[in-house]
Chain A
């Protein structure tokens, strides 16, 4: 069982996302440690991309700020190496395929492995194209996270058996961002996975309040929050460590309130 899958064992998992290098690498480093300490079970670090087509405005703007402030893939690798000496929380990179190809697929994934990254999420790499990275991920021991969405329907039967780490269940149509209301029948999506696989399912896209986190956690093995955290970072910049930690603790309570793991 991979470190990522392990992070779901015995309890509902809370996965937090921040954009790497926003507002700067040092703050990202402190944020990761603070979030781990405040109760996140896994942390997703976005490698900023110039054209993040799956992101809503909040993460688009964070990516632009990070790039503007000189964030590069190399600087993030160096930062993760430092962080890894201080925490064992599973870490994932979220980025688009072109930054990985631009860096060199083999080089990128072996550096991920060397510096202690456990998985990657690549939103523009659907099942049909996952051969781009799947073999290298396997060799380097990196989980390639699969996504399913409300439009996946019969595709779930194809995606779930080959998924590694956990399945990222996208709650809604559209791009990342805070939503007041999540109306999709996520329970049904997860039920479809359950019929095929025991892999943990985490729900992301749109979640921002402890109540939503609790509700969603009841339906799945974990929840993912991105934009709501990135928004706090946007507001407080270098001083976001404390407000983000507070926020993380409040969400953690909501998730814990949802009870124990299904498995």
Chain B
């Protein structure tokens, strides 16, 4: 058991061909994370380009309506490109550039990471190719066009279940063919070491800001932080600053699809078991023979059969609780936040809103819940209309 472990989870379970490439990345990252110029350039981009810090918004109407804890929304949806993904890609693409790479490749589920990567690549003059499950290119057609506008080449992936996991497979395969000029920009806290650590470090700004903003406004820590979990980058980013504050309850919301008692879910912690896939040891939805399960969620961004290795460890130690949220609950929450606060959340983030609606009424009015609104919902509007049976003549 060597590098990049979170308890027993993590590691580097990848073909030999990629081992020197991840080693090179680790070395470069270890250098640049302490490099003042690099950090300064990244901070400037986050501030002047991505729009950080993102707002911590007190949702007064929602608080009143639920009648319990005070609700704050961490507005990652207001970032440039509409989600938290930009935090990570600005860091990774800048790192790629410093490493002398000229091309970045990435997987995408909902398209948010693909759009963010294409954006950073456009900004920093890098060639960009995005792999996206064919199923997802249909669910998120607008994001495909967005990536193309930004100059990226989008490859629909037709193998396997044609969703996020297959997009990761294909991006890893592509990377093994070309590493000298190319960096794989992972979209979440997953994959082989050092990706889970690098992505976490680029996303932990979310929690750092929550801590600072809430302490300025209320002079205290929150009682609970809720975030959705697919691979788990916005949630790790939100939680990390609070792991050593035991008074802060940390809650991850997984996609239960049509229910965890049906095969159509993507709730890895609730229904998966320990395994090794996509370069890491963690929890995965799989059958008795270790075949990866064809998972399902209305949310393309959470439709993934695994979870980042640090989450597996946080689950094992009990520091974070994970709850499954069904499609129905998420769609309800999507509509709820739209009407209640005039904010249309990403369907991924709506999973976190859904759990907050259950939790807040059980808490008292002095207590505080922060919900990370990881992205905005524009991309989901057509799919939600379809789900609700509304014809919008797309």
By a beta-carbon cutoff of 8 Å, the part of chain A in contact with chain B is 49-51, 53-54, 56-57, 60, 64, 67, 72-74, 96-103, 123-129, 131-132, 147-153, 155, 159, 170, 173-175
Contacts and interface: CB of A to CB of B under 8 A. Distances in A.
B284 interface: yes
B177 A173 contact: yes
What does DSSP make chain B's interface, helix, strand, loop or mixed?
mixed
B125 to A, nearest CB: 25
Given A96-B276, A103-B289, A148-B16, 16 more contacts: A49-B290, A53-B169, A54-B173, A60-B159, A72-B289, A98-B292, A99-B291, A100-B290, A101-B276, A128-B19, A150-B17, A152-B19, A155-B19, A155-B20, A170-B17, A173-B17
Interface in B153-176: 159-160, 165-166, 169, 172-173, 176
Interface string B6-39: 0000011111111111000000000000000000
Q: What is the size category of the interface that chain B forms with chain A? A: 35 or more
B15 A53 contact: yes
B390 interface: no
Contacts of B392: none
B14 A98 contact: no
Given A98-B276, A101-B290, A175 B20 contact: no
Contacts of A149: 15-17
Contacts of A173: 17, 176-179
A124 B3 CA distance: 16
B160 A102 contact: no
Interface in B42-90: none
Contacts of B276: 96-98, 101, 124, 132
Given A54-B176, A174-B173, A128 B20 contact: no
Nearest to B13: A124
A51 to B, nearest CB: 5
A74 B290 CA distance: 12
B117 interface: no
B277 A51 contact: yes
Given A51-B160, A124-B276, A128-B3, A67 B15 contact: no
Contact of B20 (A73, A101, A131, A153): A153
A73 B289 contact: yes
Nearest to B19: A126
A159 B144 CA distance: 42
Contacts of B287: 102
A25 to B, nearest CB: 14
Given A98-B277, A98-B292, A131-B1, A51 B17 contact: no
Contacts of B178: 173
Contact of B165 (A51, A54, A96, A125): A51
